[in-house]
Amino acid sequence: MDFMHPMDLDCKRLPFPTLTGEKLQDIELKPHSLVFPTPLLKMPHELHLGSAPDYVQKDGDRTRVTLPIYCRAEVLPLAADTECFLIATQNCRGWGQGGDGLTVSSGVNRTDFTFRSGVFQGFPRVTRQGSPMLRSLEWNELSMVLSETLASYWINGMLVASCKLEPGEVPAAELYLGLTSYSTAYRVRGFDVSRDPAVLQRVCTLQEMRQLGVFKEKVVTCTAQWDESKSEVCISCANLAGEHLAKFQALQAYMPLQSFRRLLMQELKLTRHHDVRLVLQDGTLLTEGQDEKPLCTVLALELSGA
């Protein structure tokens, strides 16, 4: 049976590889083994970039990634007691071999393990959000988002747990991502990684994502006209070159700035991969800290001369 996302809200927010007829190759993990599949690089954000991401580097027969990162794989449990684990490691050693990897756990018949550091040896501070289990003999999705200080993971799109990581619980900022097994075998396919902001926001601030260059920046200059008799605002939008982009008529003066941002993104057909920066004619940048304020307030300088 092919893997399909269940229709729940958490799952809809998780990125998923865009495949066009390719048949996924699967790998079988024997007990007490590790595998580091090559990422497909078919996630929506990475396809949107148009070039190979610099946070994913081939290193021999493995792939090294730079945090923060989201990773996902499909796993096929082969028995009623199968356990499957994602692993983020620097030394690529398994259990009982001095492994340094942070793991997340999923199982067909148990939910008592979540995050472990040092390949099952350490216990990070965990907040549990759910207790989903894998479906035996079916493809399931196991996914994790990870920074140097925070992590969350999901089973079939359902959030399992999050944790705040102490120094040493993540071995390095550059890691190898893959899967490991304990006492049971299972199959793996569809491994991929991403810096999609929709999921990266669980472990990064907006400013951190901007510094990482996660977004394509779109600067829009706004010129406002104020109809005091109707308490309405007309806003004309242009790019930095002065070229017209859009015009909005009869906006309510008390519309929150955030609502206007959304209208603008819809009109310009922008996505979550874009960071829209609104600038007034005098060069004033309208920040996210002003998003809850009404247009009549944030545009006050612009409107005072109307």
Domain boundaries of the chain, sorted by first residue: 9-212, 216-303
Model confidence over 42-68: pLDDT tens digits?
Answer: 999 999 887 889 999 999 989 999 999
Please check the confidence at residue 120 and state whether its pLDDT lies above 90. Answer: no
With respect to CATH, is domain 9-212 assigned 3.30.565.10? no
Least confident segment among 5-9, 182-186, 199-203: 5-9
- The pLDDT-based confidence of 8 (bands split at 50, 70, 90) is very low
8 A C-beta contact, residue 133 and residue 158: no
Is 267 a residue whose pLDDT tops 70?
yes
22 compared with 248, residue with greater pLDDT: 248
pLDDT of residue 190: 96
Tell me the average pLDDT of the chain: 89
Number of CB atoms found within 10 A of residue 16's CB:
20
User: What gap in Å lies between CA 94 and CA 306, rounded to an integer?
Assistant: 68
Q: Which residue has 């669980």 as its token pair?
A: 202
> pLDDT at position 9, please?
31
Task: Let me know how many helices (H) and strands (E) the chain has, helices first.
Answer: 7, 19
pLDDT at 296: 85
pLDDT score for 4: 38
**Interacting residues of 275 by C-beta distance below 8 A, sequence separation 6+:** 210, 215, 216, 217, 218
The percentage of residues in the chain with a pLDDT greater than 70, rounded to a whole number, is 94
pTM: 0.81
**Is the predicted pLDDT of residue 29 greater than 80, yes or no?**
yes
Q: Residue 10: is its pLDDT beyond 70?
A: no
| Average pLDDT of span 73-87 | 97
Residues contacting residue 9 through CB under 8 Å, at least 6 positions apart: none
Residue 302 reports pLDDT greater than 70: no
Q: C-alpha 253: how far from its chain's center?
A: 34
What's the confidence (pLDDT) of residue 205? Answer: 92
The reported pLDDT for the residue numbered 3 is 38
Q: For residue 270, give the 3-state DSSP assignment.
A: coil
* pLDDT value at 75 more than 90: yes
Q: What angle do CA 127, 129, 131 make, to 5 degrees?
A: 115
- Looking at the chain, the whole-number percentage of residues with pLDDT higher than 90 is 70
- Please identify, in words, the CATH class of the domain defined by 216-303: alpha beta
Alpha-carbon distance of 223 to 22, in angstroms, equals 48
